[in-house]
Amino acid sequence: MSSSEPATEKAKNDRALRFYRDVLGLERLHYGMWLPDDPLTMEALQAAQKRYEDFLIESVPDGVESILDVGCGTGELCLNLKKKGYSVEGLSPDINQKAVFAEKVDAPFHFTKFEDSKLDGGYDLIIMSESCQYIPIDKVFEISQKLLNPGGHLMICDYFVVDQDAGELSKSGHDYNEFLRVAEFGPFQIVSRRDITPDIRKSLEIASDWADKILLGADILTEKFRQRNPFLWKIACWFGRGKYEKAMSQRVLLDADKFAAAKKYEFFLFRLVD
């Protein structure tokens, strides 16, 4: 084990990401890019995720040969970049993704957090697709600078917080202005950017739809029990109230309008200028 690898008991084991892959059958772990008339179906979600991935691949600058995919998830982007002829490496601190990547992609995998990594560098492009939010902003730029070849590129596509007072919605994602401020003071220049917030909203709408169906299912399944045992039901509700309240407070995370008011999902391509 290299010194940068997390000890097995400390390795990430992101259950939400496992749920997407193992239960929903999604190989890609990001929001995707939807078309306005897409129906809210699983097939449309998968097509939206493929569209987003194609957009990232089309955005790879000319002349790039070697790519490091930071927070590579299940390795789908690496696999498709490799098919296009790029030399790729994946990085993730998640123990399940390590195993899935090994099965799927014939390429080096770095089992570590980016901020703890000790890589040799020499990359033409570093990609962070919905993984930048997990890495301290200063480390995103500082380490990328060390690992990139002169004139190399850093591609970041992720959501950021624009309203710090939006409760649960403000809790995940870097502060948008802080991110831009740190980027501006470093040796990177923005060469292209695109706000894709409108393109991701249907992922929230479909998730909200599923959440409603799960609640309705629970209501139907407990109906008989509630009618026959009203007192026992009251006790069960009392014990479960903390979890229920938490789930309800997090329901706002699936509200597409509130997301668009509090957050911005943006694509950035930076170039190392000195």
Ligand X SMILES: C[S@@+](CC[C@H](N)C(=O)[O-])C[C@H]1O[C@@H](n2cnc3c(N)ncnc32)[C@H](O)[C@@H]1O
The yes or no reply on residue 18 touching ligand X (CB under 6 A) is: no
* Cβ 90 to ligand X shortest distance, Å: 9
Nearer to ligand X, 14 or 226 (CB): 14
Nearer to ligand X, 25 or 222 (CB): 25
Contacts to ligand X from residues 21-50, by CB under 6 A: 28-30
Which residue has its beta carbon closest to ligand X? 71
By three-state DSSP, how is residue 25 classified? coil
**Rounded to an integer, what distance in angstroms lies between the CA atom of residue 127 and that of residue 54?**
14
> Quick one: which segment of 92-100, 103-111, 147-155, 206-214 binds ligand X (CB under 6 A)?
92-100
Work out whether the CA dihedral 158, 164, 170, 175 comes out positive or negative: positive
> Quick one: which segment of 36-44, 91-99, 187-195, 251-259 binds ligand X (CB under 6 A)?
91-99
Q: Which residues contact 240 (CB under 8 A, 6 or more apart)?
A: none
**Rounded to an integer, what distance in angstroms lies between the CA atom of residue 263 and that of residue 243?**
26
Which of 97, 144, 197, 203 is the binder for ligand X (CB under 6 A)? 97
Nearer to ligand X, 159 or 270 (CB): 159
Total Cβ atoms within 10 A of residue 84: 10
Q: Is 58 exposed, middle or buried (0-12, 13-18, 19+ CB in 10 A)?
A: exposed
In terms of phi and psi (left: phi > 0; alpha: psi -120 to 50; beta: otherwise), the region of 25 is: left
By three-state DSSP, how is residue 27 classified? coil
Binding mask 58-77 for ligand X (x = CB under 6 A): ------------xxxx----
Contacts to ligand X from residues 106-135, by CB under 6 A: 113-115, 129-131, 134-135
Residues contributing to the site for ligand X (CB under 6 A): 12, 14, 17, 28-30, 70-73, 91-94, 97, 113-115, 129-131, 134-135
